[in-house]
Each structure stands twice: as structure tokens, then as C-alpha cells.
Amino acid sequence: MASTTQILKGLLEGCILKIVSSNETYGYEICEKLSLYGFEEISEGSVYPILIRLEKKKLLYSVLKESPLGPMRKYYYLTEEGHKELEQFILSWEEIKNSVDNVLEG
């Protein structure tokens, strides 16, 4: 059976796209929001590689901005492709969720 970590790996990209779509945000803030949504075991060490991967796929872009508390922060934004990918993720998630719910409800 796949571990929870393996299952989450595929879902985190879509969740991160959704978080970034709401507002400009930076890596640590994304980690905090994921934790607030119930992903308490997700570490910064898991999130930052995903952010890099999403940038390489041109789903996100970033801008360095001054921080009120120290060094510059990298703020993330969705690209047009990122918005399309998020829409596709939501549709795919609904299909998968409905199918799993059907199986569990038996």
C-alpha cells in the first residue's frame, strides 16, 4: 500500500497552485497555510523543491521583494499556464474524490 507521503506528493502541486492563486505569497507562508489546512507533516524541505519544479514548468513565476523582517523574499505568482493547470487539477481531483467516495461508501 502506498504511504501517505507518496499519495500527498502528487496532490501537493495542485494545493500549492491553489494557495498561490489566491494572493502573492512566499515559501514559508505557503508552508504555514498548508499546515493550517491540515498538512502538518509537510516540511519546508518538501515545499521548496515543488516550488522550483513549478517554476521550471512555467506554472509559477517569482519576484524578489524586500521583507519587513530581514532579507529579500521570493514571492510567487501563477502564470496563465498555472491557472490552466489549477483548473485541470480541480477537475481531476473531483473525479478521483468521487470515485474513491463511491468505493468507500460501497
Residue 54 within any structural domain of the chain: yes
pLDDT in tens, 60-85: 999 999 988 888 999 999 999 999 99
The residue-averaged pLDDT of 6-34 equals 91
Within the chain, how many helices (H) and strands (E) appear? 4, 3
The parent domain of residue 93 ranges over: 4-100
Global pTM reads 0.89
Output the pLDDT for position 41: 83
Q: How many structural domains is the chain composed of?
A: 1
Kindly list the distances between the CA atom of residue 60 and the CA atoms of 41, 68, 86, in Å, as whole numbers in the listed order: 24, 23, 11
Residue 105 within any structural domain of the chain: no
Cell of 38: 491540515
State the pLDDT confidence band at 2, using cuts at 50, 70 and 90. Answer: low
Output the domain CATH number for residue 20: 1.10.10.10
Residue 58 within any structural domain of the chain: yes
d(CA 36, CA 39): 7
Q: How far apart are the first and last CA of the chain?
A: 20
